[in-house]
């Protein structure tokens, strides 16, 4: 069901540090295109304590310190909830644990409808359910999500009214109402909110809402960005370069067919192309080696041979401007083993060589502060630690290239489901909200 939106509106180590939240507020603007309405929401940042983020299955087994979150209302009367936007997941879910600091109480919603296990929805195949949905004692559809770090969540599939931003219309969407959430790595699992699955699966939020496309523009930490849901064209955005989504019709054990998979074809450090055969970037006969664009993962992870080549070249080109942290036992987030010592009194980083990810038909250029990440709480003498923001997928046991949202900053990201492609353009995302007349 398409949303009923009025077009009359105006335009593996845990680290002890604070986490950041990119928050999409309830304020919104609605514009009309020739095909369908577009909902525009502003993006802002704020600090929140650790342990406050929901997880999704098939995710890299470490804690992220940034997530993208949208505020919506669910139920009748509406209840405000926050959901992490995850282009790497299908099934949306909310924390329905009424004994803790829950985010959604189904008993207070007259429009809440649990899905019976006899419903075809209960047998819909989704990669998110590592354990197939089953029947509980009340003959309701019961789902269990398990994760790489041994945490889990379970509850019933249900449908309820969802409304985004200031739109007056609602749509009934299927989601998981999770009443049991277990995280052995966090004492604050009760603060988990919910997750909005945005991949191409039939139960994802964008599939159920029938949005032909969506876009977002992620700014750096202190500025406003924007999320667009729907189809719209804006002349001020730089021309988009499109890369096609890779489709494989035959089921393969290690290939996620509903992910946003693109073809990585090469990597440059400054202007030097890494001497890697293109076959090393392509999925093999099992499907291992696909390249996924994932807003639910923070950093970017490359398979071993490609990562090693990038690490070596970046290390060579920074040998005279940065001091390597020589400790083989320190691996940031379990997969990032190239770190540097930077003086605590040093006001800014030296000029770094850019890293360009070359996709079929489009490029993503990573520069400046996006290349190194300061590890909060880690000090060595008079130095802070900064780690290279590309990691080794092999160290995590992940058979894929994953393009995280850290490297999507200041890039207009358009997910065109209708034409099976992703568009990219360099944009100052802190100015995007101003262009749409949004404030945060």
- CATH number for the domain spanning 396: value is 2.40.70.10
Q: Which one is predicted more confidently, 257 or 184?
A: 257
φ/ψ (deg, to 5) at 279 = -65, -25
Q: pLDDT category, 153, cuts 50, 70, 90?
A: confident
Token pair of 394 as six digits: 């092999």
Are residues 102 and 34 located together in one domain of the fold? yes
Q: What is the pLDDT of residues 325-334, one digit of tens each?
A: 999 999 998 8
Looking at the domain assignment, is residue 232 inside a domain? Answer: no
Question: Is the confidence at residue 46, as pLDDT, over 50?
Answer: no
pLDDT in tens, 4-13: 333 333 323 3
**Average confidence score pLDDT of the chain:** 81
Domain final residue pick, 211, 232, 257: 211
Is 275 a residue whose pLDDT tops 90? Answer: yes
Confidence of residue 222 (pLDDT cuts 50, 70, 90): low
Strands 171-182, 79-86: parallel, antiparallel or unpaired by DSSP? Answer: unpaired
Beta strand ranges found along 200-275 (DSSP E): 213-217, 225-229, 241-244, 261-262, 264-269, 272-273
pLDDT in the model for residue 13 = 31
What pLDDT is recorded for position 17? 27
Q: What's the CA gap between 160 and 176, in Å, rounded?
A: 10
Rounded mean pLDDT of 394-413? 92
- Banded pLDDT at 231 (limits 50, 70, 90): confident
Helix (H, G, I), strand (E, B) or coil at 378: strand
Q: Does some domain include residue 169?
A: yes
| 253 compared with 57, residue with greater pLDDT | 253
**Do 158 and 258 share a structural domain?**
no
pLDDT at site 22: 37
Quickly state the pLDDT bin for 355 (edges 50, 70, 90): very high
Chain centroid to CA 274: how far? 27
Is pLDDT above 90 for 61? no
The reply to whether 233 falls in a domain is no
pLDDT number for residue 75: 95
Q: What is the mean pLDDT of residues 69-93?
A: 88
**Run of H or E residues at 339:** strand 339-343
How much is the average pLDDT of 222-250? 79
Residue 1 falls inside a structural domain: no
How many structural domains are present in the chain?
Answer: 2
Tell how strand 19-24 and strand 66-74 pair up.
parallel
d(CA 230, CA 31): 9
The predicted model gives 35-57 an average pLDDT of: 52
Q: Do both 376 and 262 map to the same domain?
A: yes
Categorize the per-residue pLDDT at 227 as very low, low, confident or very high, splitting at 50, 70 and 90. Answer: confident
Rounded to 5°, the CA angle 373-377-381 comes to: 95
Q: Is residue 219 part of a domain?
A: no
User: Residues of 388-413 as b/e, b for ≥16 C-beta within 10 angstroms?
Assistant: bbbbbbbbbebbbbbbbbbbbbbbbb
Are residues 109 and 187 located together in one domain of the fold? yes
| Mean pLDDT, rounded, for 364-393 | 95
In this structure, is the dihedral angle defined by the CA atoms of residues 426, 430, 435 and 437, taken in order, positive or negative?
A: positive
- Find the range with the poorest average confidence among 46-55, 163-172, 289-298, 302-311: 46-55
Q: Report the SS3 class of residue 368.
A: helix
What's the sign of the alpha-carbon dihedral 389, 408, 66, 439?
A: positive
Same domain, 176 and 246: no
Domain annotation covers residue 222: no
- Which listed residue (149, 294, 337, 416) is catalytic? 294
189 is an active site residue = no
Mean pLDDT of 330-353: 94
Going by pLDDT thresholds of 50, 70 and 90, the confidence category of residue 417 is very high
191 shares its domain with 260? no
Q: Is the pLDDT of residue 320 over 90?
A: yes
DSSP letters spanning 19-83 = EEEEEE-S--EEEE-SSSEEEEEEEEEEEE-TT-----TT--SS--SEEEEEEEEETTTTEEEEE
Domain boundary, last residue among 169, 195, 211: 211
Q: Are the CB atoms for 21 and 69 separated by under 8 Å?
A: yes
Enclosing domain of residue 134: 19-211
pLDDT of residue 147 exceeding 50, the answer is yes
Angle (nearest 5°) at CA 118 between 116 and 124: 90
Indicate if 207 and 247 belong to the same structural domain: no
Q: How confident is the model at residue 28 (pLDDT cuts 50, 70, 90)?
A: very low
114, 195: one domain: yes
Q: Is 416 a catalytic residue?
A: no
Identify the burial level of 24 via C-beta atoms within 10 angstroms of its C-beta, where 0-12 means exposed, 13-18 middle and 19 or more buried: buried
What pLDDT shows up at residue 97? 81
Count of Cβ atoms closer than 10 Å to residue 278 Cβ: 10
In tens, the pLDDT along 176-205 reads 999 866 554 454 444 447 888 999 999 999
d(CA 6, CA 56): 33
For residue 230, what pLDDT is reported? 83
Burial of 286 (0-12, 13-18, 19+ CB in 10 A): exposed
What pLDDT score does 233 carry? 64
Catalytic choice (86, 128, 160, 183): 86
In a domain, 216, yes or no: no
Cα–Cα–Cα angle for 39, 122, 80, rounded to 5 degrees: 35
Asked if residue 209 has pLDDT above 60, the reply is yes
């Amino acid at each position: 069901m398409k949303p009923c939106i009025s077009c009359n509106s105006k335009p593996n180590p845990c680290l002890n540090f604070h986490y950041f939240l990119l928050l999409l507020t309830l304020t919104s603007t609605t514009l009309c295109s020739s095909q369908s309405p577009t909902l525009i929401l502003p993006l802002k940042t704020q600090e929140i304590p650790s342990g406050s983020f929901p997880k999704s299955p098939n995710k890299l087994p470490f804690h992220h310190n940034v997530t993208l979150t949208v505020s919506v209302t669910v139920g009748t009367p509406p209840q405000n909830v926050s959901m992490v936007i995850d282009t790497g997941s299908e099934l949306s879910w909310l924390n329905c644990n009424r004994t803790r600091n829950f985010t959604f109480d189904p008993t207070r919603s007259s429009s809440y409808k649990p899905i019976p296990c006899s419903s075809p929805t209960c047998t819909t195949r989704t990669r998110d359910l590592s354990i197939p949905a089953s029947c509980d004692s009340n003959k309701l559809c019961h789902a269990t999500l398990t994760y790489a770090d041994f945490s889990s969540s379970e509850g019933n599939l249900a449908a309820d009214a969802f409304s985004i931003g200031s739109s007056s219309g609602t749509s009934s969407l299927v989601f998981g109402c999770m009443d049991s959430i277990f995280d052995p790595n966090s004492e604050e699992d009760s603060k988990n909110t919910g997750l909005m699955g945005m991949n191409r699966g039939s139960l994802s939020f964008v599939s159920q809402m029938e949005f032909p496309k969506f876009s977002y523009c992620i700014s750096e930490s202190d500025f406003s960005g924007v999320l667009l849901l729907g189809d719209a064209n804006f002349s001020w955005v730089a021309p988009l370069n499109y890369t096609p989504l890779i489709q494989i019709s035959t089921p393969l054990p290690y290939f996620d067919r509903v992910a946003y998979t693109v073809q990585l074809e090469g990597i440059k450090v400054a202007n030097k192309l890494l001497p890697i055969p293109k076959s090393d970037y392509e999925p093999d006969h099992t499907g291992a080696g696909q390249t996924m664009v994932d807003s639910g993962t923070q950093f970017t992870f490359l398979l071993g041979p490609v990562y090693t080549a990038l690490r070596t070249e970046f290390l060579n080109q920074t040998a005279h401007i940065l001091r390597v942290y020589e400790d083989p036992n320190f691996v940031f987030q379990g997969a990032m083993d190239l770190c540097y010592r930077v003086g605590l009194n040093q006001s800014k980083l030296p000029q770094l060589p850019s890293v360009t990810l070359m996709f079929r038909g489009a490029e993503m250029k990573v520069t400046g502060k996006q290349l190194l990440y300061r590890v909060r709480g880690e000090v060595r003498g008079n130095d802070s630690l900064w780690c290279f923001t590309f990691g080794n997928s092999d160290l995590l046991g992940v058979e894929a290239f994953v393009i995280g949202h850290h490297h999507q900053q200041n890039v207009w990201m358009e997910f065109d489901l209708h034409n099976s492609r992703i568009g990219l353009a360099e944009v100052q995302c802190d100015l995007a909200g101003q262009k749409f007349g949004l404030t945060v």
